Amino acid sequence: MKNTLVILCILAGLASCKKDKFETVPKISFVDVKPNVFSSDILSGARDFAPKLIMKVTDAEGDFGSDADTDSSFIYIKNLLTNSFDSVRFPNLDRAPKKDFDAEVSVNLFDFLECVDPGPVRPRTDTTYYEVYITDAKKNKSNVITTTKPVFFQCK
């Protein structure tokens, strides 16, 4: 009986230490890249067909978007093949709940596709991964993720 009471106290203590899913600092996780194949010969006018990075974002305040109050929320992307680094404004999320924000966000990778000088051998396919993090309106920086699914970019 005494051991049972001790075990129940330990389990109750562990259950009360459950970490809150939503924090002030945004958290991101990789979901997918769709499609993960793209060719440089269809670059003109092909923005809609470019790969999209899909990630899950959680944040306690949900302070993202493009209105005047949240002008500093960005998605930072680094192409690990070319080491080029740039950012895009966070999509407008006016319709999303602000408290306990939990959503999938899609980013078009069109501007982040770049051929390494293929030299005389053409066509050539480069395998590209990306490193990504976000900032919210209060300039809180999320964790940094690396895509686990490559983008196969055919350079012609």
Q: Is residue 9 part of a domain?
A: no
The confidence score (pLDDT) of residue 79 equals 92
pLDDT score recorded for residue 9: 46
Please tell me the total count of domains within the chain.
1
User: Is the distance from CB of 142 to CB of 113 less than 8 angstroms?
Assistant: no
- Residue 18 inside a domain? The answer is no
pLDDT at 76: 94
Assess contact for 143 and 133: CB atoms under 8 A. yes
What confidence score (pLDDT) does residue 12 get?
Answer: 53
Residue-by-residue DSSP string for 106-128:
EEE-GGG------TT--SEEEEE
Query: Is 10 inside any structural domain?
Result: no
| Alpha-helical segments (H) within the chain | 2-16
The sign of the dihedral angle between the CA atoms of 96, 99, 100, 101 is: positive
| pLDDT at residue number 18 | 47
8 in any annotated domain: no
CATH label of the domain that carries residue 97:
2.60.40
pLDDT per position in the chain (156 positions), as tens? 554 544 544 555 545 444 567 788 899 999 999 998 888 776 566 778 889 999 999 988 888 765 545 466 889 999 998 899 998 888 766 666 678 888 898 999 988 888 777 667 667 788 999 999 999 888 889 999 999 999 998 877
- Residue 12 inside a domain? The answer is no
Neighbours of 109 (CB within 10 A): 22
Best CA proximity match to 153, nearest among 134, 123, 128: 128
Main-chain phi, psi angles of 85, to 5 degrees: -135, 135
Which residue range is the domain that position 65 belongs to? 24-155
Is residue 14 situated within a structural domain?
Answer: no
Q: What is the pLDDT of residue 19?
A: 54
- H helix runs in 70-111, sequence order: none
